[in-house]
Amino acid sequence: MIKVGIVGITGFAGFELLKILSFHKEVSLEYIAARSEINKSVSDIYPQISTYKDKIIEEIDINKIKELDVVFLALPHTVSMEIAKSIYNYVKIIDLSADFRLSDTNTYKKWYKKEHTAKELVDKAVYGLCEINRDKIKNASLIANPGCYATSIILPLAPILEYIDTKDIISDSKSGVSGAGRGLKEGLQFCEVNENFKAYSVANHRHTPEIEEFLNSISQQDIQLTFSPHLLPIQRGILSTIYVKPNRKLTKKEILDIYKSFYDNSLFVRIKSELPSINNVKGTNFCDIGFELDERNNRLIIISVIDNLIKGASGQAVQNMNIMLNLNETEGLIPYPYYP
């Protein structure tokens, strides 16, 4: 069995990892740790869990992490890098924070307001967008698990970059409240969110440089993205509406064929003939993509949906592990979905 650990078990992503790994036939969860709730059992904070209910939450111990085969770092941005620096040569790392998503540490400092302290690892990290970076992921020791918004925007854009004006891309994205994490924040209280809908971090969201950098790397073109995120009064899920201008005349059938060909071997990306909704993917590792062609205005309008905590975080992290270890890519990732 593969010895696995989770560091950062008390957040939403940590809980999702715990649930997913309880379905996984190839792993043994040897170590769980956090910066809070030390010495409590899993059942103390997650009574829903039965498989690992008696597991005790430990302090973060570098020596114990080094004894694992794989560790998931489900920690806040700017925290993971210090741990990764100490364990890199001993264990495969899948980092769910943003600490290794950007190749330029100056860009990281600009957007995350902190000096990067593990610069020597930045070039060694592989961006873990599974459907596009499989070959690199297979040989990686450090995975930068993509951001949730980034996943919902890159997957629908990647197949069509050569067919659009890459300097005129607009994404209007909406996320459930769990995307902001489990910590207490005034703007995320029930009375602030319920029966409300608002934009935030317009034109300056931290996922913007991540999205542009990766799309630049696969297209070798100058990508310019206008990104407007919004907060939905729901628990989980992201819906991104992306507006692009085709650089040549395309029919709907041609666009559909481009998408289906690109994702022909990707079980977790589903190309839909109708426009998808969040309920179609809630509780799953799927990304559903649909589109409409506005011929009158020469606009292609693409809709993508994901569960932000699964395909946008922990599900994709486990998918990365499966690829790294040459396991079945779907292992542990086909549990029952949530509906309604």
Q: Annotated active-site positions, please?
A: 148
Question: Which residue type, as a one-letter code, is found at position 190?
Answer: F
Radius of gyration for the chain, computed over Cα atoms and rounded to the nearest angstrom: 19
Determine the Cα–Cα distance for residues 293 and 274; give it in Å rounded to an integer: 12
Q: DSSP labels for 118-145? A: -HHHHTT-EE--HHHHHHHHHT-SEEEP
228-246 burial: b if 16+ Cβ within 10 Å, else e: bbebbebebbbbbbbbbbb
Which distant-in-sequence residues (6+ apart) come within 8 Å of 118 by Cβ?
81, 82, 84, 85, 99, 100
Q: Classify residue 327 by its DSSP letter.
A: -
Is residue 148 within 8 A of residue 323, CB to CB? The reply is no
Phi and psi, residue 98, nearest 5°: -90, 5
The tokens describing 298, both together, are 């020469």
Is residue 324 within 8 A of residue 191, CB to CB? The reply is no
The tokens describing 88, both together, are 């890199």
Is residue 160 within 8 A of residue 221, CB to CB? The reply is no
Is residue 66 within 8 A of residue 90, CB to CB? The reply is yes
The tokens describing 272, both together, are 């839909």
Q: Cis ω on the peptide bond leading into residue 159 (within 30° of 0)?
A: no
The tokens describing 289, both together, are 């993509």
